[in-house]
Structure 1
Amino acid sequence: MNNQHYCFMACDSDYEGASIVIFGAPYDGTVSYRPGTRFAPSAIRNESFGIETYSPYLKKDLEDVKVFDAGDLEFGFGNTRKVIDEIRDMTAKIIANDKIPVMLGGEHLVTLGCIEAMAIKYPDLHIVHFDAHADLREEYLGERLSHACVLRRCHELLGDNRIFQFGIRSMTRDEDEFAETHTIQVKYSLEGLDNVIEQLKGRPIYVTLDLDVLDPAYFCGTGTPEPGGVSFMDLMKAVHKLNELTIVGADINELAPHYDQSGMSTITACKILRELVLTIK
């Protein structure tokens, strides 16, 4: 763990007193199109000081919440399985101390490390997944550990109808057919979230938020942009609705800051992260 870092705004509690622990997973070794998500955690921290700690939507302030920013994990090159193991071990440590991990990707494969740890502590774990892509491939160019396969690997850990997918608008035929049987998938929108929340109340929930669920008009700083996405306000309202659930862990991923020279995609990620943390707490 690299402790020489800027924390995400106001998330400067000590570890012992924190109820939420943020950590970065700056990895993009399996991206299928444009790389760069490994730069997202540091970009999010640096740009977070451009927005307020207070959410007028929730009437809550990060300064009133005990959040510890643990900095970024440090990964070697060329060993994807080791990266996932290190994320799993970090997550296991956090949840063993009865704290809620919030991970900053990185590409979407990093979610698998968290789920491997979470599924052990929470046998009834369910996933709420926001994304443009189904991420349900069995393999991508012969690799089973890929950001295109991450929810398929999570399904192998959790089983049928434990993954709820929203905003999906890009997939293969095989992924489409797999989802019809094995996941609960809402295409093109966030409709039906209210009903899913009612169904999942009282269960342990992991939220994984791939920021390319947003339309590229709102969020172009990603390696795999997909037209036809949701608006920022729709996504933020969806995040706020999750406060009715028992969220035991979360991540945001797939910001590639260098593809948006205006910096707006990074600021958007900062604001979604602020609202997510305040929703959890």
Structure 2
Amino acid sequence: MAVSTPVPPFKGAVRAASPVGFDAAIFGAPHGTPYPEIDNSIHRGAPDAFRKALEVDAEWLDHWDFDLGGPLLQHQQSICDLGNLKTRPKDGKHNRALIEKTTRGILATGAVPIMFGGDDSVPIPFIAAFSEQPAIVILQIDAHIDWREERYGEPFGFSSTMRRASEHDHVWRIVQAGARGIGSAREQEVRDAQKWGAHIVTSREIHHKGTDEVLRHIPEDCDCVISFDCDALDAAEMPAVAYATPGGLTYTQVTDLIAGVAAKARIAGFCMVEFVPSRDRSKIAAFTAARIAANVIGRIRRREDEED
């Protein structure tokens, strides 16, 4: 399914060749669908950067995590790390097929897929893979809304992620949190998103009104796929992105969103994208992003454990 990497598995996960028998499965997707004019390979080292960031923390799985109110893993919860997919820098069609096949394979076992990208085109096939699952709500946490029909003639690039998601029958709601500044969206893309019914909550609104302004759009007991773009975080906390923009969300706001989703719904999948390792000289940005992924892992079974 994926290939091993010399980096140890992500914190709390064990290296495995198959997701069978696990509650969640992590895999890396280093490349997505490239644009003719943009080199998206700057993100290819992100999956291993996240793994390395929490390498030391993996020795402390029994320690109390104050973000989660207990240790990372609850009871018999088990997570596997499948390694990285054999994606190709210039072959978007191959990459999309491989990501979708892998995600479908994980879902077929009943495990929650957790994908580390790659640029923000990798969620397109990830979301497509949920077509045989219960209908999903998408929570996109991102500085950009990604509703372009195409860019440079490419309809599957990182500016079109939510537009492609909106075309699926199994996607019944899209909630977008953290939009700010200037992105690829023009007035028409904003109008198209609103006409479809996307709930767009800007970063400014979250700062002034709190994360409940987003969470009120997440229905009770739904299956929610969270797509997290690292540039949703403020540039002061996350400088290691392609298009850093001031006024972004804080780590606490993002983890509050994750906790809020888990409290009222089921986290059915998670993907994290747009990290640029070469811009993370201190390695703090990778640690911050990896901690967000750890928050997701820690929340996957907490609700059902508490209900039991």
Judge same fold: TM > 0.5, yes or no. Answer: yes
More displaced, 208-217 or 151-160? 151-160
Match of 1:280?
Answer: 300
Match of 1:184?
Answer: 199
Counterpart of 2:240 (choices 221, 245, 251) is 221
SS at match of 2:45: helix
Closer, same or farther in 2 for the Cα pair 1:13/1:37, shift >3 Å? Answer: closer
Opposite residue 251 of structure 2, the aligned amino acid is: F
Q: 1:72-118 deviations in whole A, cap 9, x for unaligned?
A: 00113422022011100001111111111011111111111111110
Opposite residue 180 of structure 1, the aligned amino acid is: Q
Contact 1:55/1:275 (8 A) holds in 2: no
Match of 1:255?
Answer: 275
Deviation at 1:35, TM superposition (A): 4.7
Query: What is the TM-score with the length of structure 2 in the denominator?
Result: 0.84
Opposite residue 55 of structure 1, the aligned amino acid is: D
Match of 2:48?
Answer: 42
SS at match of 1:59: coil
Match of 1:94?
Answer: 106
Contact 2:143/2:232 (8 A) holds in 1: yes
2:138 is the alignment partner of 1:127: yes
2:59 is the alignment partner of 1:20: no
Distance 1:174 1:50 in 2: 47
Distance 1:140 1:66 in 2: 40
Match of 2:173?
Answer: 162
Deviation at 1:29, TM superposition (A): 5.0
Closer, same or farther in 2 for the Cα pair 1:93/1:104, shift >3 Å? Answer: same
Q: What is the identity percentage for the equivalent residue pairs of Structure 1 and Structure 2?
A: 24
Match of 1:3?
Answer: 4
Match of 1:201?
Answer: 220
More displaced, 43-52 or 126-135? 43-52
Query: What is the TM-score with the length of structure 1 in the denominator?
Result: 0.92
> What does residue range 61-76 of structure 1 map to in structure 2 within 5 Å?
61-64=71-74, 65-76=77-88
Distance 1:29 1:8 in 2: 25
Closer, same or farther in 2 for the Cα pair 1:158/1:219, shift >3 Å? Answer: farther
Contact 2:146/2:158 (8 A) holds in 1: yes
Match of 2:253?
Answer: 234
Give the number of aligned pairs: 278
